[in-house]
Structure formats: structure tokens, C-alpha cells
Amino acid sequence: MELVVLTPEEQYFSGNIKSITVPGVSGEFEVLENHAPLVSAIGEGRVKIIKTDGESVKFDVNRGFLEVINNDLALLVNEIKPVD
């Protein structure tokens, strides 16, 4: 899957991933390869990305949207706070 993470100021992440876990408005959910098309509101909380090499990337977000179409994902958020 190809993911791009965008804020109004920058492109924070772009690359191939195995999965992404996001804080949905009604609770956390995970997107894996071949997920059905989806547009979902994102709440405040932690995003966890597992890259194809197994490395994980984590950061906190402050509301936005996730779009999934044909293994192409776009996460559009207002603000990102990196996690150590």
C-alpha cells in the first residue's frame, strides 16, 4: 500500500506500508492491504504505521480524514506531533 500523510504545512510521510492504525472518531481502527474503499473522519490520538521493512512510525494527530482507494491511502490532518 502507498501512503501519504499531509498537513496544511507539509508532507510528513510518503512511502509503502503494511498497515496503518488510526484514531477514528468512533474508535481506533486498522487498514491492511486490499481494504475496501473508505473515507473516514479521524479524531485526536496516535497513528501507528508499519512500513514494509517492519519498522514502525508513530505520531499523534489532531483531527483529519483518511481516504483509502485501491491500496492508495491519504491521511490529511490538521496537526502532527512526533512521538519519540
| 6 has a pLDDT exceeding 90 | yes
| 84 has a pLDDT exceeding 90 | no
Supply the pTM of this predicted model. 0.94
What pLDDT is attached to residue 57? 97
What's 2-82's CATH class? mainly beta
| 24 has a pLDDT exceeding 80 | yes
| 25 has a pLDDT exceeding 80 | yes
- Mean pLDDT confidence for 29-40: 97
Q: Do the Cβ atoms of 22 and 31 come closer than 8 Å?
A: yes
User: Coil, helix or strand for 84?
Assistant: coil
For 21, the grid coordinates are: 492504525
Query: Looking at beta carbons, which pairs linking 22-26 to residues 24 or more positions away fall under 8 Å?
Result: 22/47, 22/61, 22/66, 22/75, 23/47, 23/61
Q: Do the Cβ atoms of 42 and 6 come closer than 8 Å?
A: no
